[in-house]
Amino acid sequence: MLSQKKSVPFPNIYKLRKLAQSDAKSCFICYKPTVSVLVTLKSLNYSELDFFYICESHLLDKNFCSSRFLSDDIDNLEENKEIELKIENLKLEKLKLSEKCIKLEKLVNDENGIGINKIVGYFNKKEKGKNLKPEPDGDGNTDGDTEVKDKDKSKPTLDNKEKLNSIKKEIELKTLELQKLEIKYKKFQLDMNYYQLRLKKYNEILKKKEHAKKLQDPSFFPSVKDLPKPGEQVLILKNNDDENDI
């Protein structure tokens, strides 16, 4: 899309830049003062650049713009495709790790005896066994021995805890890597309605410049010798009046 020659003067891909506080101007949307500016990137396929001041809160509005992840060289389609693919893969890997982490946390909590059902079951069993003597089971174990064994079984396995900690570290690393890539390559694509507004604004400015240039050109105005003399103008009007009377 970006490699083809366009009839529009600038691409619909903007990069966020920040200026000094003394350079703050009104936002394109809400007119509040802001130091954040969206600027189009240079491209061999477009002749002009566009920029405007914007509050960063508007960049979160999907009705205003959407995020793209591209290098500053927007003409390099192969590189930009690799960047977007890498970020999408990282997001997918992070999602899968998060799902795995939730399952392992539940498993470790269950092994730890965390949960209302296990707490209620423990107190019910304790209440029932107050007035009962321990009886041996088929293996010669009493209820007390069985309870000790159950407690041993309910302890979380070291493997699951280690796996959980390992996955959490992986998620942290993926998150950091993703944040670095997004900060480095994040660009913004305006909603078509706002992009059309920017094009309209550009055309208005262009017309004003062309008009100002014409006003500075002496040949734009008629010369004095080409103007009709006052008497000739009156005569023409008089002749026209006579023709109308006929």
Sign of CA dihedral 162, 166, 167, 168: positive
What mean pLDDT is predicted for residues 135-150?
A: 54
Residue scoring higher pLDDT (164 or 116): 164
Strands (E) in 90-204, as ranges, are 186-190
pLDDT at 201: 94
Contact criterion met (CB below 8 Å) for 121 and 150: no
Could you tell me the CA-to-CA distances from 171 to 85, 97, 132, 180 in Å, in that order? Answer: 19, 7, 50, 14
- Report the alpha-carbon distance of residue 34 to residue 57 in Å, rounded: 11
Specify the pLDDT at position 4: 46
Decide if pLDDT at 228 tops 50: yes
Tens of pLDDT, residue by residue over 58-89, are 999 999 999 999 999 999 999 999 999 999 99
Mean pLDDT taken over the chain: 81
| pLDDT at 168 > cutoff 60 | yes
Please tell me the pTM assigned to this model: 0.64
Round to whole Å and give the CA distance between 217 and 220.
6
